[in-house]
Amino acid sequence: MKKIALAVTALCLSISGVAAADDPIAVRKAIMQANAASAGLAGAMMKGELEYNPAIAKAAILTLSASAKSFGEFFPEGSGDGDTTAAPAIWDDAEGFQAALDKYISDTAAAVEASGKDGPADLAAFQAAIGPVFGNCKSCHENFRVQNN
């Protein structure tokens, strides 16, 4: 039950982000928190801590898809200063960052496609769909995030 609540929270977080569009750092943090909640649900099912449920699986994938489509909008010039872990490379290598965003968008779109109307049929199908999406977390954080504390 707690995990289902988490799934709902994930969706709400991704929606509430839009309301705070005048504070891009806050919005992108909210989007990332929604991503983490979705990854948490996916991870719990993969580890067997939570029984596989196609509807939850689909909710996780759709949250990541909403994030992929919107995330890149919240990095205006100058938003690298402040309480953020955004790396200067986001602006210094704008082309590379855009390429990373495009990959994230296309990998999540493929996962949405694979999950169909009722969500991936079983855990193996879910893993196959979401695995490539998770690869984006690492590859983007490798070059475009700085750990500050």
**What does the buried/exposed string (b/e) look like for 14-31 if buried means 16 or more CB atoms within 10 Å of the residue's CB?**
beebeeeeeebbbbbbbb
Count of residues that bind other proteins according to CB under 8 A: 20
- Please give the Cα distance from 88 to 113 (Å, whole number): 34
Pick between residue 116 and residue 143 the one whose CB is nearest to other proteins.
143
Q: Which stretch binds other proteins (CB under 8 A): 13-21, 31-39, 74-82, 98-106?
A: 31-39
* Least distance (Å) between residue 62 CB and other proteins: 17
Which DSSP state fits 75? -
Q: Which stretch binds other proteins (CB under 8 A): 16-24, 35-43, 104-112, 118-126?
A: 35-43
Q: Note every long-range contact of 95-99, with CB atoms under 8 Å and residues 24 or more positions apart, other chains counting.
A: 96/143, 97/72, 97/144, 98/72
What 3-state DSSP class applies to 53? coil
Pick between residue 22 and residue 149 the one whose CB is nearest to other proteins.
149
Q: Does 40 bind other proteins (CB under 8 A)?
A: yes
Give, for 95, the enclosing helix (H) or strand (E): helix 94-115
* Least distance (Å) between residue 20 CB and other proteins: 21
Q: Does 37 bind other proteins (CB under 8 A)?
A: yes
Binding site for other proteins (CB under 8 A): 36-37, 39-40, 43, 47, 85, 87-88, 134, 137-139, 141-142, 145-149
